[in-house]
Structure 1
Amino acid sequence: TGIPDASKNLINAEARFFRGLAYNTLATLFGDVPLVKEPLNAPKTDFTRTPLAEVNALIEEDLLYAGTNLPDVGGVGAANNAAGKPAGRANKYMAMHLLAQAYLRMDKNDKAEEQARAVINSGKFELNKARFGSTSMPGDAFSDLFVYGKQRRSQGNKEVIWVQEMEPNASVVGGTQNNPQQRRLWGTGYHNVTGMRVADSLGGRSLGRLRLNNWVLYNLYEQNDMRNSSNNIRRTYYYNHPNYPNLMGQQVPKTASDTVTNLGAHTTKWYQFDPKDTFGYAMIKDIIHMRLGETYLLQAEAQFKQGKLGDAATSINALRDRANATPATAADITLDY
C-alpha cells in the first residue's frame, strides 16, 4: 500500500534475481530440489523434490523478469545506478550473466550465447587493458582489477558486473563482522620466516593453507602471459624486517619442505591489509562475483557447444589478447581448453 508500481517492480525484480540465483545454485548441485514459491507461515517437514524441469522453468522466468525490470548501471565512477540507488545494488546485467550460466546448464546454448552477447554488446562494460587507480604501485592491467579500493564500478573498475561490497564494522557502524577465509587461506605465512614481517604489499597476515596446483604454476600460462606475472602470482619473497639489516632486501631462499605454508607460490587476488586489524582476522576486501572476462568465457562455451569453433576462439581471444597470450585457433577449442 502506498508503494508506486515502479518501486514494486524494482523490489520484485531484485527478489527474483536472488531467488533465481539460489535455485540455480541448488539445481547445479543437486538437480531435483523442493520448489517453494510462496512464503511459509508455519513449520513444514514434508518437502518433496520437484522435477528439475520445473525448477529450471522458475529460474528462467525469474531471471528474464529481473533482466527486464532491474535498473541499468550508472556510469563508471558514479555512486548510484540508473534508478538512483547505490551502485552496488542488483542490475539487469547480473541477471543476464547468470541466465547465460543457467542456460548452459540447461543445454540451451543458443539462448546462453544470446544472453552473454547482450552483456558484452551493451557498451556498459570493458575489459580492462590499461593501468588504473593504483599506478603508483607495481602492477598491470589485470592485477589492478583486484586492488582493494578499486574493485567497484563506482571506484572506476569498468570490467566488474557484480561486486559484493564489504564494509567492515571497524569502519562502518553496522558493517560486516563475518570472516571470509580467502585471504588467510590463499596467502602465505611468510611472516613466520625469520627476517620477514607483515606487509601490506605482501597481502597482510595470511596462513598458507591452500596453494595453486602444479599445472597452474608450471603449465597453464606462457611466460609472457600477464596473468602469470609476479603481480598476479607471487613466487619470490625478499627479507623486509629492519631488525635484520644483514638480510634486508635479499631473496628468501626456498626449501623443498615448504611449498605451501610460508613461501608457496600464490595468487595475489586476495591481498589486503587493514591497519585497524594487523592480526588479519577480518576480511575487508570486496568479492567480485561477475566480471566481463567471465561473460566472454560463457559466450565461448555456448558457441563451442553449438559447433561455432571459430566464434568461440574469437571470444576467448578477447581475453588472451589482453593477457599478451598466443591467440587460440578454432582447432584449439575443446571444452577443456
Structure 2
Amino acid sequence: MKRIIFYISISLIAVNLSGCFDSAILDEVPLDFASPENSYVTEADFNSAVIALYDQARLALSDGEHRPLDHIYGTDLGYNGANQLNQRFGSYLATLLPTSDPAIYHWRQYYRIISGANIILNRLEGSKVSDQHKILVEAQAKLFRGLAYRNLAHLYGGVPIELEETQSPKTDYVRASREEVYQQAANDLEIASANLPGITEVRDGEISNLAAYHILAEVYVSLERWNDAIEAAGVVIDDPSTSLMTERFGSLKDEPGDVYWDLSRRYNQNRSVGNTEGIWVWQYEVDVPGGVTSSSGLSGPMLERDHSPRPWSFTVRDPSGVAPFLPQGVSDNTGGRGIGRFRGTNHFNYGIWQYDWEDMRNSEYNFIRDVAFNNPASEWFGLKLSDKMSQFRVTLEDTIRNFYPYQAKVTTPGQHPSELYDNPVLKTLISSSAGTTYSDQYHIRLAETYLLRAEAYLGSGDSQSAADDINVVRERAKARLITAGEVDIDFILDERMRELGTEEKRRLTLNRLGKLYERTSKYCEGYPGVANFGVDVQPYHNLFPIPFSEIERNTGAVLIQNPGYAAE
C-alpha cells in the first residue's frame, strides 16, 4: 500500500506543479533530505551513482539462484531436473508468460540500469565535477546503458528507447525496432570504448575500455557489421596486457590440476594475481559489506547449489548397512553443497566432447564424471561410485539429481570459507548456509573474445580466420585443432559450451542468434517423469514476451506484444 501511495503522490505533485505560474518553485533545492537536486553534485556523488550501476548489473547477471540462472535453464546447456514445471523453465508454456517472473524481472532490472544511467548523464553537465572526470563518468554510464539495451534486444527484440531522465509519469512508450536498439547500444558503447581507461589503469572488477570493446564487438555482430566487430574484438585480443593463461598459476597451482582448472579456483580471477585473461570480473567477498556473499546464509552466485549433484542423497548402503557418502555436502569433488537441480544435457555432458574426448576442458579436474565414497566408516571408503555403478543407477533421481557429470568451476573444493565447515577435518559443510560459488565470477573472459571474433569472421565469409581464432582457444586446451571447412555457427556454439559452459549466459547467446528454439528442441532432454519431458519450447520463445504489466500501464500508446504470446 505504501508503494501505491508513493506513486500516486508523485503523479499528483507533477500535475499540480505543471499548472503553477511561478517556475522558480521548480528550482528549489531541498536542504534537509536527499533528492536528485542535491545528490548529483560532487565527484563522490557520481562515483556512488556509478557503483549503483555495477550493483544492479551484478544482481541481474550473477547474484542468486533465480534470475541469473534463467540464462542457463531450459537451453541446450541444461534443464530443471527437479520436476518444477512452472519455474526454472521446467516447462516453457508454464514458465515463459507475459505475467511470469522471468519476463517481468529482466525487463524491469535493465530499465532500472537505463534509468540510473540517464539520471547520471542528465545531471552531469550542471555538476561541480571536473571536465576530465565528466568524460569518465559519461563513459561509465554509457557502458552500462549500452549493456542494458544490448541485453534487452537479445531477450525481447525491439524495445522502447529512453535516453532522458524521466521526471514525471510517462505512458506513451512505443517499441523501436531490434536493429534500432542494437544501434543505440553501439552508440553508447562507442563512446565508452573511446573514453574508458585501459585495463591496466583500473582496479579489479572495474570496467575498462576493453570491456566496452568486447560488448561493442558483440553488438556489431548482431548488426552484421562484421568488419567493425572484427576490429573491436581485435582491440581486446591485441592489447599487450591481455593473453590466454597457458601455464599453471594462482592459489592451487602446486596441486593436481591444469591451467583451465586454475582459472576457476578461488582468488584466481583477477589481474592482481597475474590472470591476464579476465576482462571484466564480478567481485565477491565473504562477510564484507558490499561483498554480497555470507557465511551465514545463501547469497551471491549459486551455481554450486544448482549445478552440483547431491550424492549425499543416495539411499544405497554398503554390505554393513553404512552409507558410503557422508550425509552433508562436502568440499571436495562430490560437489560441495549441491542440490542437483540444473542437470546438464547429454549434449553438454557427452556430445560436444566426441570431437576430442582428451580436451583439457573435459579432464578429470574440470568435468567431474566420477566420485569417491567419502565416509571413513564405510567399508567402501576410497572406492569410486563407478565401481558400484549398477547399485547407484536404479531410480530416476539417481541419474537426474544424485550424481551426473558436472563442471568443477561451479564449486571451490577445499576452498570454502572456514566458517562453513561443520567438520574441518572431513570438510563437511553446514547445509543451511553453504551452496554459493565462493569465488569472483567472470563476466567477460578473453577466450570468449576469440570465439566472438571467430563468429564475425564466419559472418564475413573468412572461415580460415574463424578457424584460426577457434584454434587459439583449442590449442590452450591441448585439443584437436579445427579446419576451416569444419567451421559453422553450430561448431562455434559447441565450442562456447566447451570453453564457457555454465559461465556463459547461454540464453543471451542463443536468443541473439535466433537459435534458442532450434538448439533447445534438439538437445534438451528435460525431466523424464513429466509429459513431453517439460520440453515444450516453441519457435516464438526465441524472444521473451513483453510483460503484460508494461503493456497495461502504457495507456497513451500501444506497446505491441511479441508474436505467439497471449495478450495477458
* Conservation of the 8 A alpha-carbon contact between 1:113 and 1:299: yes
Q: Secondary structure at the match of 1:161?
A: strand
- The residue type paired with residue 29 of structure 1 is L
- The residue type paired with residue 186 of structure 1 is H
Q: Where in structure 2 are the equivalents of 1:45-194 lying within 5 Å?
A: 45-74=171-200, 82=201, 85-133=202-250, 134-168=252-286, 170=287, 172-176=288-292, 178-193=299-314, 194=323
- The residue type paired with residue 230 of structure 1 is E
Larger helix proportion of the pair: 2
TM superposition shift of 1:144: 0.8
Q: Which residue of 2 aligns with 1:250?
A: 383
TM superposition shift of 1:247: 2.0
Q: Which residue of 1 aligns with 2:480?
A: 326
State TM-score, norm by structure 2. 0.55
Shift in alpha-carbon separation, 1:53–1:135, aligned structure 2, 3 A:
closer
CA distance in 2 between partners of 1:316 and 1:99 (Å)? 20
Q: Which residue of 1 aligns with 2:122?
A: none
Q: Which residue of 1 aligns with 2:402?
A: 262
State yes or no: 1:287 paired with 2:430: no
* More off after superposition, 304-313 vs 209-218: 209-218
| Partner of residue 361 from structure 2, selected from 227, 247, 250 | 227
Q: Which residue of 2 aligns with 1:30?
A: 156
TM superposition shift of 1:243: 3.0
* Conservation of the 8 A alpha-carbon contact between 1:183 and 1:270: yes
TM superposition shift of 1:281: 4.5
**Unaligned 5+ residue runs, structure 1?**
75-81
| Partner of residue 238 from structure 1, selected from 372, 383, 394 | 372
CA distance in 2 between partners of 1:201 and 1:264 (Å)? 15
TM superposition shift of 1:195: 2.3
TM superposition shift of 1:127: 1.0
State TM-score, norm by structure 1. 0.91
| Larger Rg computed on CA atoms | 2
TM superposition shift of 1:282: 4.0
| Partner of residue 210 from structure 1, selected from 319, 329, 342 | 342
What's the CA shift string for 1:292-326, capped at 9, x where partnerless? 11000011111111110111111111011111111
* Aligned sequence identity (%): 34
CA distance in 1 between partners of 2:264 and 2:300 (Å)? 19
CA distance in 1 between partners of 2:452 and 2:182 (Å)? 18
Q: Secondary structure at the match of 2:129?
A: coil
CA distance in 1 between partners of 2:206 and 2:459 (Å)? 33
Shift in alpha-carbon separation, 1:118–1:25, aligned structure 2, 3 A:
same
Shift in alpha-carbon separation, 1:200–1:136, aligned structure 2, 3 A:
farther
- The residue type paired with residue 374 of structure 2 is N
CA distance in 1 between partners of 2:380 and 2:158 (Å)? 60
Q: Secondary structure at the match of 1:259?
A: helix
CA distance in 1 between partners of 2:185 and 2:479 (Å)? 37
CA distance in 2 between partners of 1:53 and 1:19 (Å)? 16
Aligned residues: 325
**Unaligned 5+ residue runs, structure 2?**
1-126, 294-298, 315-322, 421-429, 492-568
* More off after superposition, 192-201 vs 54-63: 192-201
* Conservation of the 8 A alpha-carbon contact between 1:73 and 1:87: no
CA distance in 1 between partners of 2:337 and 2:179 (Å)? 46
CA distance in 2 between partners of 1:187 and 1:281 (Å)? 9
- The residue type paired with residue 368 of structure 2 is R
